[in-house]
Structure 1
Amino acid sequence: MLLSNFAFAARPWWPAFMSACMGCAAAASVVYWVLQFPSGGTASSVPLVSNPASMARPAGAEDTAHLQRAWGVKGLAPVMSVAQSSRYQLLGVVAGASGQGSALIAIDGQAPKAYRAGQALSEGLFLQSLNQRQAQVGAAPIGPSSFTLSLPALNKTP
């Protein structure tokens, strides 16, 4: 009998301890991931985009305009990248000498719409002024322009 007690005491205890620790870690992992699943009644944490065209826009000047407004900076026009200004295509202009009038502008290849001077083209961009073949676009209805849209060149061949 003394021999059997000695055999039990001679067994190493660390394999059993490590097995118990691994089992607890696996159970904790399962509990963590089950708690991470969204329940059916709650809204997901992913924001919904109301305008699918805004998903294709790279982050840049419009984000800067929001930051400038949040920090109280006024009078600075955002720097527009070539990619952002290429989203807009000027198709027609009806302008007076005062710079007022309307322009036919297509945004992101969609059907063109008529915009009056001072009207918002998209969030953070306004049609500022017009002349016979160009439209000035900027971050505010009045102020420095961010970029200029021009009509395509006329084909003067008969």
Structure 2
Amino acid sequence: MNKAIRARRLAPPPLSAPGMVPALAAGLLWLAAGLSAGYWALLAWGRSPVTPVAAVAMAPVGSDAAAVARALGAVAPAVASDTPAPVAASSRYRLLGVVDQVGRNGVALIAIDSQPPRPYAVGAALEGGLVLQSVSRLGAQLGASSAGPATVELSLPSPAKN
């Protein structure tokens, strides 16, 4: 009998004991209240007063490109012109791709003046008064009209070799 009494004393009480549930709930509530008070105390203790700093706008630094070039030893051009030099028509157009189908009109992917490339079908008008006259496997021909002579020959860039 002694062993049975001793075993009861060493065994933990079951959770369903009459006073255990309210004691556990009270302990959890006190734990939550303590953690909340600690949070707010650390938050209030860690804050310092906000001091606004006046922001000063900096004036943009300007440089004279001609003066810098002269300082670095550049020679001034003999004649300065306000009108831009004429651009060759072929340098405005860049051929990026072609679709040449047998028995059908082809299509060329052309970029004009560093704009995004657009597809043009044979016979379509491009900027600058030119018309896409024909498309071959490696290039395209542009001219003033569909039937006239080709004034600009565009060729595909050679593929990069690794």
TM-score under structure 1 normalisation?
A: 0.45
State the structure with bigger RCO (CA 8 A, min sep 6), 1 or 2.
1
Larger Cα-atom Rg: 2
| Bigger strand share | 1
